[in-house]
């Protein structure tokens, strides 16, 4: 039995201004449901949450456990590599493919027609990516401490987590840039076209030959990995400020270009 | 800007490349009316609605929503939207979709209230992707009304609904209007527009070719239909002045004419046993077809 009547709709005196509390709640609600739905997409959540720690355990514990015990620097290298790998995917695929698909499906137009708070759609995806990055680090650190037997201090763990979570931003920006320009199907191909070389040609998993090392700084992964090395008190190339500037630059430029595109084309 | 209009397009022109989508269109939506925007494909209906929702900007002229620019979020907080070409996240449950949209409004209904009004309480915990096409439309309707909107934009709201669900939705739309809200309806079901609308606008090639109440639009078509049972031959009647066409369906003749009074008088004079005489005006569908063909 319905108890609600249509008189409930006609409250002509209701305000058109949102209280700060309601506005904050709108942002939170969008971020919560974006995260919830991406967790429910098992084809997205399982690879991006399980794969980094599973690969770290395979290489850092099962295959090269003895070498890591004799040389903690190798263990830290693998930990750094799979931490960076873990925060790349959710940003690139969570933004790139989903935005391209949702643009095609009319969801973006609906959000623009509805009184959704400014930027809530993109912010929700950003927070979803950060939630995924936090979970990746929350699995990587115990695995490194208790199964990889790495001598990590609390401060090192905290620094690597903060760097990795914030370090997901440039990958979100790359995904956003692709997602605002490509069709749903093409976006996945384009993301892979950047994701795969970025993993292998930036020196993420293994030292590169000299001729490749000269071009590795073009990839954000290189700069993020150098920052993680610094946080773990490992030898690293370049200056911290340069790496931070490159990552912020990539994030800002690609995000601004994407927002301009969204505002003009939708 | 006249504040009696809740949504208004004034002299709006819009082009997409070389295609003229709207060519000086004027439209007004008043408080408490169900206003149907009709037109063949490519007439400019979607462009007009997109301008009123702030999704597009006019090349010339103005679009206003509650007297303000539709690109501002404040006037859109009085608006509910149901789009035809939209796919929502299949992983979210029905009550989650409604809670998300409700969070955008200052004083929304609770998801439970919105689901009660849309008759979908039983679907609350179902994933959206598992619903039938008709159920999805009902969920989108609940999302459209959950912000207590003064003005609802509904694009083909009853597509995919079975007869009972469509009647429920029509009842809901009538109650929304009876309570002082307005609805802008775009539909290909002319029966729906005829049954629900207070006012109708007919667009063709980006121009307004007719507007008024349903009766006023129907009256634009002078042709009327006479049906009767008669011994007279169809060929004989077809030769009379003002008769446009005559068809026989079993024992009954159906005559289309622009001068029904003269034809009825002649029919009665020619056949004293004439029975089951009926004269009716063109329906909205026929008026629509004629108007849009004339303008083509």
For A205, half-sphere exposure in the C-beta direction (CA atoms, 13 angstrom radius) is 14
Condensed to tens digits (0 to 9), the pLDDT of residues A96-111 reads 888 999 999 999 999 9
pLDDT of residue A9: 58
Most confident of A4-18, A51-65, A239-253, B160-174: A239-253
Nearest CA in chain B to A32: B100
Between CA B98 and CA B28 the distance in angstroms is 29
The rounded distance, in Å, linking the Cα atoms of A240 and B60 is 52
ipTM: 0.86
Name the minimum distance, in Å, from the CA of B223 to any CA of chain A. Answer: 40
User: Within 13 Å, how many C-alpha atoms sit on residue B167's CB side?
Assistant: 2
Interface of B with A in 150-169 (CB under 8 A): 150, 153
Q: Sheet of B275-281: strands edge to edge?
A: B243-249, B252-257, B224-229, B275-281
Please name the member of B55, B107, B109 whose beta carbon is closest to the beta carbon of A113. Answer: B55
**pLDDT tens-digit readout, B228-247:** 999 898 999 999 998 988 99
Structure tokens at B185: 């309806």
Task: Answer whether 0.95 is exceeded by the pTM.
Answer: no
The reported pLDDT for the residue numbered A36 is 96
At residue B100, the pLDDT reads 97
Chain A residues whose beta carbon lies within 8 Å of the beta carbon of residue B147: 115
Q: Which residue has the tokens 């307005």?
A: B182
pLDDT at A170 over 50: yes
Helix (H, G, I), strand (E, B) or coil at B182: strand
* Chain centre distance of CA A7: 45
Q: Read off the pLDDT of each residue in A158-187 and give the average, rounded to a whole number.
A: 93
Q: Which of chain B's residues have a Cβ under 8 Å away from the Cβ of A37?
A: 89, 91-92
CA-closest candidate to residue B183, choices A98, A32, A10: A10
Model pLDDT, residue A1:
45
User: Which is higher by pLDDT, B174 or B281?
Assistant: B174
* Nearest partner of B150 among B98, B200, B78, B205, judged by Cα: B78
Is the model's pLDDT at A260 over the cut of 80?
A: yes
Whether residue A266 is predicted with pLDDT greater than 90 in this model: the reply is: no
Nearest CA to CA, how far is B136 from chain A (Å)? Answer: 14
CA–CA min distance A256, chain B (Å): 20
The pLDDT of residue A21 is: 93
Nearest CB among A16, A30, A36 relative to B106 is that of: A16
B96 touches chain A (CB under 8 A): yes
CB-defined contacts A:B, below 8 A:
122
Q: Which residue of B has its CA nearest to A25?
A: B103
Q: What average pLDDT does the structure give for chain A?
A: 89
């Amino acid at each position: 039995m319905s108890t609600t009547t249509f008189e409930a709709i006609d409250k002509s005196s209701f305000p058109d201004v949102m209280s700060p509390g309601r506005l904050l709640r709108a942002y939170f609600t969008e971020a919560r449901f974006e995260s919830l739905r991406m967790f429910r997409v098992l084809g997205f959540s399982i690879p991006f949450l399980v794969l980094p720690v599973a690969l770290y355990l395979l290489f850092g514990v099962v295959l090269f456990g003895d070498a890591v015990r004799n040389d903690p620097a190798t263990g830290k290298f693998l930990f750094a590599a799979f931490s960076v790998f873990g925060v790349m995917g959710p940003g690139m695929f969570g933004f790139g493919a989903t935005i391209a698909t949702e643009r095609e499906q009319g969801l973006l137009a609906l959000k623009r027609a509805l009184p959704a708070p400014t930027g809530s759609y993109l912010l929700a995806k950003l927070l979803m990516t950060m939630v995924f990055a936090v979970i990746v680090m929350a699995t990587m650190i115990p695995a490194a401490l208790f199964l990889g037997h790495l001598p990590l201090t609390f401060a090192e763990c905290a620094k690597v987590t903060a760097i990795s979570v914030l370090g997901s931003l440039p990958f979100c920006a790359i995904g956003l840039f692709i997602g605002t320009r490509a069709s749903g199907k093409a976006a996945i191909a384009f993301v892979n076209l950047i994701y795969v070389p970025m993993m292998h040609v930036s020196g993420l998993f293994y030292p590169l030959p000299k001729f490749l090392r000269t071009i590795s700084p073009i990839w954000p992964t290189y700069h993020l990995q150098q920052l993680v090395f610094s946080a773990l008190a490992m030898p690293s190339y370049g200056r911290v400020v340069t790496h931070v500037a490159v990552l912020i630059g990539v994030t800002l430029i690609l995000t601004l270009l994407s927002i301009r595109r969204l505002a003009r084309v939708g | 800007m006249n504040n009696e209009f809740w949504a208004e397009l004034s002299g709006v022109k819009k082009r997409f490349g070389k295609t003229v989508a709207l060519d000086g269109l004027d439209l007004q939506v008043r408080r408490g009316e169900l206003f149907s925007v009709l037109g063949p494909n490519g007439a400019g209906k979607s462009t007009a609605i997109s301008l009123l929702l702030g999704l597009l900007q006019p090349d010339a002229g103005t679009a206003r929503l509650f007297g303000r620019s539709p690109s501002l979020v404040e006037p859109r907080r009085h608006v509910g939207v149901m789009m035809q070409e939209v796919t929502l996240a299949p992983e979210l449950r029905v009550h989650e979709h409604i809670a998300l949209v409700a969070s955008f409004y200052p004083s929304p209904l609770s998801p439970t209230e919105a689901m009660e009004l849309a008759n979908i309480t039983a679907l609350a915990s179902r994933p959206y992707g598992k619903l039938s096409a008709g159920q999805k439309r009902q969920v989108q309707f609940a999302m459209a009304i959950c912000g207590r909107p003064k003005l609802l934009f509904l694009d083909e709201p009853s597509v995919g609904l079975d007869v009972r669900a469509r009647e429920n939705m029509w009842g809901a739309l009538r109650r929304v209007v009876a309570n002082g809200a307005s609805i802008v309806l775009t539909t290909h079901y002319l029966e729906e527009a005829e049954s629900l609308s207070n006012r109708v606008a007919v667009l063709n090639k980006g121009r307004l070719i007719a507007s008024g109440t349903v009766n006023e639009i129907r009256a634009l078509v002078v042709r009327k239909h006479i049906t009767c049972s008669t011994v007279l031959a169809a060929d004989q009647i077809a030769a009379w002045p003002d008769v446009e066409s005559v068809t026989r369906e079993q024992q009954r003749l159906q005559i289309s004419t622009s001068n029904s009074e003269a034809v009825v008088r002649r029919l009665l004079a020619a056949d004293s046993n004439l029975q089951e005489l009926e004269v009716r005006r063109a329906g909205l569908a026929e008026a629509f077809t004629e108007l849009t063909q004339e303008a083509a």
